[in-house]
Amino acid sequence: MAIDHYRTLGRSGLRVSPFCLGAMTFGREWGFGADVDESRRIIDTYLDRGGNFLDTANIYTHGHSEKIIGDHIGRHPSRRARLVLATKFMGNMYPDDPNGGGGGRKAIVRACEQSLRRLQTDYIDLYWMHFWDRHTPIEETMRALDDLVRAGKVLHLGFSDTPAWKCAQAQTEAVFRSWTPLIALQIEYSLIERTVEGDLIPMALELGLGVTPWSPLKGGILTGKYTRGTAPPQGDRRYAEDSKHLNERTFTIVEALRKVSSELGVSPAQVALAWVQQRPGVTSTIIGARTVPQLIENLAALDCTLPAELSALLDEASTPVLPFPHAFLQNLTNCIQNGTCINGVPSARWPLSPADDQERF
């Protein structure tokens, strides 16, 4: 696979690269990330290799992420036209202003106008709801977004970090009322975080949403930098976050990852990225980078193909515990199918069913 082997995103005709360049690391206002010059080099490296999908948000580095993109891309019409530019609303950058963020019409319109100004563009290709606002009726959010599409300021819509039931409600409202439907879902997804396979991934497949995973390397843990004998240094910026996930399951996953990477002759990070990109429903995986070499190494994961037996090894090491009723339903296959094979799923005869010669009431 190559970065310029484009895919349509969800139930739409929007073509995007299999790896999306995440821009949360553009700017150093949050105490990490790349400065302006390095951010520009990262963008150029991605575009020069054929990538066309760039993802940011209004709140990233106080809005500086959007401005870096606008200064480097937005003010150049020919470069802007070739780019699928995605940004997000919801986060509030105005202390003590209750309408400075959220999913209400006032906040959405204001956030969109400001993002357009910083990005120096007339339209946003994909506008994400960054996360769910429980205080706003979803029909208000969807109608406001539909108005932005009708005004030509936004072309496509997506949801990020929102419960599956709320996504389904929003999509149903949109279809029923002839508003603009969602085409994409952005969620955390990695070998460590697989609980999304319970509801979010099946929901996306059913409702025509292309999945764009974020944090596919779980903040760098899946680069293999930690083992059972090592731990993040106490003063490290990521110490508090990483240490929450360094448990027996994580180390088992990392060991399997190292084994697979050794057999294939690639890095653990490339294996982890390849695994995510090959999961059902995934269209484009979001990769971040603070340096050009990091970006180049991550892009090389597109050349990594996981054989079935090695992919199965990773699946087994990372099998998630899903909430009710998923495990319960798995145990009902025999009851439902009773000795038949349906869509490639076999079953045994259900022992509590009547025998062939028994009377059925």
Residues that are catalytic: 60
Q: Which residue has the tokens 């294996």?
A: 271
Q: By the 8 A CB rule, do 242 and 232 touch?
A: yes
How many angstroms from the chain centroid is the CA of residue 104?
A: 24
**In the block, which residue shows the tokens 């290709």?**
125
3 state DSSP class of 247: coil
**Where does residue 176 rank: exposed (0-12), middle (13-18), buried (19+ CB within 10 A)?**
exposed
Residue with tokens 């990594």: 304
- At 7, list the tokens: 């895919």
Report the 10 Å Cβ neighbour count for 294.
Answer: 17
Beta-bridge partners for 20: 286
CA geometry: angle 201, 160, 102, nearest 5 deg: 145
Q: 84 in helix, strand or coil? A: strand
Bridge-partner residues for 127, per DSSP? Answer: 87, 157
Q: Alpha-carbon distance 7 to 71, whole Å?
A: 28
Rounded-to-integer distance, Cα 133 and Cα 137, Å: 8
CA atoms of 341 and 66, how far apart (whole Å): 52
Reduced to 3 states (helix: H, G, I; strand: E, B; else coil), residue 176 is helix
> Looking at residue 282, what DSSP letter applies?
B
Cα gap 283→126, rounded to integer Å: 14
Say how many C-beta atoms besides its own lie within 10 A of residue 200's C-beta.
Answer: 23
